[in-house]
Amino acid sequence: MEQTNKVILLKLGEVVLKGLNRKNFEKMLIDDVKRRLKKCGNYSVLSSQSTMYVSPLDSDSKDAIDDAAKECAKVFGVASLCVAAEIEKDLDKILAFIGNYVRSVRKDEKTFKVVGKRSDKTFPLTSPELSALCGAKILSANHDMKVDVSNPDMTVYVEVRDYAVYIHASKIHGAGGMPAGSAGKAVLLLSGGIDSPAAGYVCAKRGVMIEALHFDSFPYTSERARMKVIELAEKMCDYCGNISLNIISLTEIQESIKKVCKEDYFTVILRRFMMRLAEMAAKNSGAKAIITGESLGQVASQTMSALAVTNNAVSDIPVFRPFIAMDKEEIVNIARKIGTFDISIQPYEDCCTVFTPKHPATSPILEKVLFEEQKLDVKGLTERAFATMEKINLNPGN
């Protein structure tokens, strides 16, 4: 089979629906692709006809093109991708190549169909004509295969584009969504549990840049619990890009609540402090929203009444709860997909397990919560906690 160049074709998703701002979204997408490809070698990235062309620039990059494709599959804004053979727009060369190409890439497939796509209308054959000729060549080189246009084992794509013809026989699902950072920045309340990393991923898929905020309760929580959260944030970087992880100590706040407040209100009062601190962190970093992994009714602090009381502590910033109507199995599936699940289930407690009441209030009344809060120096406790904030910038593998 004639030696050909391999190119990664990235098919864009929602970006193509954008109007005058489309170029800005495409630039963000190109920047993200280039950033991720640095670990794989040297590649050029060109955008045209709702597709991005990723081409290796040296022999080492050619050898690593499959790894490069895996990295591109994590880029938000890419709907699908493939590694394609690049052929000159010459019919004889296409037909001489395609039969042996299918023979080299097929496994146990016994049936196939050819999908011709002629974006370049100057090409002399129509898409059906090109498909028919290519199908005949595939049959002559693969005698045990048959054509099945309804339910084929293999679909062979022959795309005639501006620069060349691109032939491929498999598609990889992309991450979808919108380019990283295109929707602005939000603060993610990142615990050591299953839900919050997955919630961050879901929002990042919509173009949100993640600024993570974790609360610890040293010495009631261990250094290993802290390392677990750092590991979670690093894993999120695979999809979300560079993440700043902020860590704030809640120890003084928790000890103060335990001393003077009714036990059954401990959790909801603590959540209100978390939201105040998250709002301060958001304003400090230029973030425009807060993200949590809360799901309605999952625990006592996530009932409708408790969420309303918690929201009351935030003044003028929206709170995104992408999992509010999802069940645990759905959330776990997302966590498994992005590789955070096995980290989250490590048995190291976070601050939410410290001083947990035996019977937390599930239907708290705001007036009663505010009465309990009056026993505390809310302003002083909040300011002193915020002063403990430590920032860790994470960009592993980039």
pLDDT score of 1 more than 60:
no
- pLDDT-based confidence at residue 197 (cuts at 50, 70, 90): very high
- pLDDT-based confidence at residue 268 (cuts at 50, 70, 90): very high
Domain shared by 294 and 378, yes or no: yes
Over residues 36-66, the pLDDT tens digits come to 899 899 999 998 878 999 999 999 999 999 9
Tokens at residue 139, please?
């049959």
Average pLDDT for the chain = 92
What is the residue range of 310's domain? 184-394
Domain shared by 43 and 82, yes or no: yes
Within a domain: 71: yes
Domain shared by 193 and 169, yes or no: no
Within a domain: 267: yes
pLDDT at 371: 95
Domain shared by 148 and 207, yes or no: no
Within a domain: 162: yes
Domain end, chosen from 105, 139, 173, is at 173
Domain shared by 326 and 265, yes or no: yes
Say which residue the tokens 């290519």 belong to: 134
pLDDT score of 261 more than 70:
yes
* 247 closest CA partner among 214, 269, 207, 221: 214
Secondary structure (3-state) at 187: strand
pLDDT at 112: 96
Within a domain: 250: yes
pLDDT at 19: 80
Within a domain: 178: no
pLDDT at 228: 93
Tokens at residue 182, please?
């295109």
How many CB atoms neighbour CB 263 within 10 A?
15
Within a domain: 272: yes
Residues 271-281 have a mean pLDDT of 96
CATH of the domain at 325: 3.40.50.620
CATH of the domain at 9: 3.30.2130.30
Domain shared by 165 and 276, yes or no: no
Domain end, chosen from 173, 198, 217, is at 173
d(CA 249, CA 93): 66
Domain shared by 301 and 335, yes or no: yes
- pLDDT-based confidence at residue 3 (cuts at 50, 70, 90): low
Q: Out of 116-120, 125-129, 161-165, 296-300, which region has the weakest mean confidence (pLDDT)?
A: 296-300
CB-CB contact of 124 with 84 (8 Å): no
Pairing state of beta strands 146-147 and 111-118?
A: parallel
- pLDDT-based confidence at residue 20 (cuts at 50, 70, 90): confident
d(CA 81, CA 41): 18
d(CA 212, CA 186): 8
pLDDT at 352: 65
* 78 closest CA partner among 50, 109, 99, 102: 50
Domain shared by 196 and 113, yes or no: no
The answer, yes or no, to whether the previous bond of 364 is cis (omega within 30 of 0) is no
Beta bridge partners of 158: 116, 167
DSSP output for 290-339 = EE----TTSSGGGSHHHHHHHHTT--S--EE-TTTT--HHHHHHHHHHHT
Pairing state of beta strands 319-320 and 290-291?
A: parallel
d(CA 42, CA 50): 23
pLDDT at 222: 84
Task: Give the number of residues written for the chain.
Answer: 398
Whether the pTM exceeds 0.95: the reply is: no
Over residues 182-192, the pLDDT tens digits come to 999 999 999 98
Within a domain: 224: yes
Domain shared by 109 and 211, yes or no: no
Within a domain: 179: no
Over residues 127-144, the pLDDT tens digits come to 999 999 999 999 999 999
Domain end, chosen from 143, 173, 203, is at 173
Calculate what percentage of the chain has a pLDDT beyond 70: 97
Domain shared by 368 and 314, yes or no: yes
pLDDT score of 398 more than 60:
no
Over residues 342-397, the pLDDT tens digits come to 999 988 776 666 667 777 888 999 999 999 999 999 999 999 999 999 999 887 55
Domain shared by 66 and 148, yes or no: yes
Type of residue at 280:
M
Domain shared by 277 and 358, yes or no: yes
Over residues 308-326, the pLDDT tens digits come to 999 999 988 999 999 999 9
* Number of independent structural domains in the chain: 2
pLDDT at 361: 81
